[in-house]
Amino acid sequence: MKKINRLLFVLHVFVGLGAIGGGLMAILNPEGPGGMPTDALKNSPFDNFLIPGIILFTIIGLGNVLSAGSILANSNYRGYISGVFSWALVIWIVVQCIMLQMVVSLHVIFFVIGLVEVVLSTMIIYKQHLFPIEK
């Protein structure tokens, strides 16, 4: 269980800090964060990267940092907290690929990281006997 917690903690910190950085870039420069042109958003409901940046910063960034904190604090709910923000990452990547109408290597990497987080979170919930269908 320690190895699962440790790996999940590292993944959440990695994703969280990266999303906080990326979200801040988009919030501070919504017209072209990191050189990404707003033309990329032509198939999305957004005119610039401000709203996606806020979502990236709060849900993916702070959410993953919160998940890491719950693991560090050995919270009884760490599996659930981690699971929610792991699925948020998976959904974020899928929606991002649909809106940008492209898939690049970083999308694949973070999609796989999200799925690994989901599996590890589920393992924690199961090992704590908190799985909803357990008796």
Q: If you count DSSP H runs as helices and E runs as strands, how many of each does the chain have, helices first? A: 5, 0
pLDDT at residue 129 tops 90 = no
Confidence of residue 4 (pLDDT cuts 50, 70, 90): very high
If DSSP codes are grouped into helix, strand and coil, which group holds residue 96? helix
- Over residues 64-90, the mean pLDDT reads 97
CA distances from 7 to 29, 37, 38, 117 (A): 33, 35, 36, 9
Spatial distance between the Cα atoms of 79 and 83, rounded to a whole number of angstroms: 6
Question: pTM for the whole thing?
Answer: 0.91
